[in-house]
Chains A and B, each alone.
Chain A
Amino acid sequence: MGYDEFRREGGKMKEYAYFLGCITPNRYPGIEASTIKVLKRFGIETRDLNGASCCPAPGVFGSFDLNTWLLIAARNVTLADMIGLDIYVTCNGCYGSLQEADHLLKERPELKEWVNEILSDEGLEYKGRIKVKHIIEVLYEDIGVDKIKDAVVSPINAKIGAHYGCHFLKPSLVRGHGSPEKPTILDELIEATCAESIDYKDKLMCCGAGGGLRSRDLNTSLEFTRQKIANMKDAGIEASVDTCAFCHLQMDRGQIEIKEKFGEEYNLPILFITQLIGLSFGFSTKELGLDKHSIPMTEKFIR
């Protein structure tokens, strides 16, 4: 469906600031390209968030120094606040940091005051006018499963393992998307492309990368990943689809590391949700950056 049709149906032209974070632009720019392309299909424009930095990772920098974590995260949110655009992110870590920082600043005036005092050096002021959204929310709420379905031209005929990651839904008290124990939002988006979302053991388990574990103890971190991927393989899953650039790195690159460290080879293709949707919209594997993944795409994901 083109933009004109979208407008005719009452869709408002929407523009977002894309908070990139680190992994997306610096390791998996395919996620960036796919997301911008998919949103554009529905008339949703993406604006650069100039001068943004590392979010900084909630479980890593939050574990080192919560003050520094909050200030840098608040600065990133404020950059968008200054230009009056809502943010979307393609990483659960970025979401965790920015959404939580935004939440804290909205809830606690004394924190807002402190943050603004420091940000004023740079001429920034947090006002709390904008929202921090996960790309999944944009896909599900702004666009909707039905419109995505309608736009599919090249249906995906494959068994997919959904990987939600952790910080998109949790802590639910802060995120406000309801119970994280039985989510369906990602499964619905996957199935919108005609693919089948298959249940597997420990579907909601963490990929193992977060909280600084990946950098501190790679073997332990990869053991999480290995279990998840082995569980998906056992369930007959042909590819995993995720919501987070960091999970994405852990599960894609991680498979190479698992092979090196544990001698086990899984070759399970890993796709970000907008890469899967992009394929179903007729974009090529190359345009979506899927050909540059550590684990090569299998035939079903080559267009």
Chain B
Amino acid sequence: MSLLSEIEECGEVIGKDTIDSFLACMQCGKCTGSCPSGRVTSYRTRRVINRLQAGDRSVLADPNLWMCTTCYTCYERCPREVRITDIIRAVRNLAAKEGYMSKSHRATASYVIKTGHAVPINDETKKLRKELGLSEVPPTTHKFPKALESIRKIIKKTNFDKLVGFDWDTMSLEERGEK
């Protein structure tokens, strides 16, 4: 399968047209020049698009791929209307599938599997909630265990648990070397 069709598959929910828009990139550099990340890291937005056009798979292993904050500045300004930020999300999906997912990202994902929240509540906040006249625990998956079960069902259905390497027996992340 070509790199393009693999990315199209990962980005199915955002649409083929969105993904394919990178074919029209003219390498003008508007994206990199507008990128707040490119000013402080070695990430170059245009280079990512360039490598995708060339079918260069090594882009998947490049840690720079993860330096984008999804701020959409490039996406808004691209004169060829390349849907850059969405494409980056889809390419990251493929990278994650190939095992390029950092430990910290797996941890963030595991919180949602465990609690339904990427940032779960803590005692300090519970106390503050009470002081503010709010319910001690918010009316979310924190309060409704059944809702959490629904989230977990979805996660199993999409194999998100396997993607992240989540062990249901220990309710924690499997040991996995970081690629």
Contacts and interface: CB of A to CB of B under 8 A. Distances in A.
B140 A68 contact: no
B112 A64 contact: no
A64 B163 contact: yes
Interface string A33-64: 10000000000000011111110111111111
B109 A59 contact: no
Contact of B154 (A72, A209, A223): A72
Chain B CB within 10 A, most for which of A63, A217, A227, A292? A63
A119 to B, nearest CB: 8
B10 interface: yes
A274 B144 CA distance: 28
Contacts of A163: none
B126 to A, nearest CB: 9
A60 B158 contact: no
Contact of B164 (A54, A64, A292): A64
A64 to B, nearest CB: 5
A241 B102 CA distance: 32
Contact of B112 (A51, A53, A121): A53
Contacts of B13: 66-67, 69-70, 104, 111
Contacts of A65: 93, 96, 158, 160, 163
B117 A22 contact: yes
A212 B140 CA distance: 23
Interface string B73-85: 1011000000101
B125 A29 contact: yes
Contacts of B118: 22, 54, 56-57, 60-61
How many chain B residues sit at the interface, stated as a range, is 35 or more
Interface string B96-117: 1000011011011100100011
A211 B75 CA distance: 14
A122 B146 CA distance: 9
A33 B140 contact: no
A211 B84 CA distance: 13
Given A71-B158, A287-B132, A58 B76 contact: no
Chain A CB within 10 A, most for which of B69, B107, B116, B144? B69
A290 B32 CA distance: 38
Contacts of A254: none
Contacts of A68: 154-155, 158, 160
Interface in B131-159: 132-134, 138-144, 146-148, 150-151, 153-155, 157-158
Contacts of A289: 128, 132
B37 interface: yes
B76 A66 contact: no
A220 B76 contact: no
Contacts of B117: 22, 26, 53-54
A121 to B, nearest CB: 6
Contacts of B86: 171
Contacts of B96: 63-65
Contacts of A12: none
A301 B155 CA distance: 44
A77 B40 CA distance: 36
A51 B146 contact: yes
Given A67-B12, A68-B160, A121-B153, 14 more contacts: A26-B119, A33-B133, A51-B139, A54-B118, A60-B108, A63-B92, A63-B96, A64-B101, A66-B12, A108-B15, A209-B69, A212-B108, A215-B104, A217-B66
Interface of B: 10-15, 36-37, 40-41, 66-73, 75-76, 83, 85-86, 88-90, 92-93, 96, 101-102, 104-105, 107-109, 112, 116-122, 125, 128-129, 132-134, 138-144, 146-148, 150-151, 153-155, 157-158, 160, 163-164
Interface of A: 20, 22-23, 25-27, 29-30, 32-33, 48-54, 56-72, 75, 104, 108, 111, 118, 121-122, 166-167, 170-172, 180-181, 202, 204-206, 208-213, 215-217, 220-221, 223-224, 227, 287, 289, 292
9 contacts: A56-B118, A63-B70, A63-B92, A121-B150, A171-B83, A171-B86, A172-B76, A180-B76, A205-B71
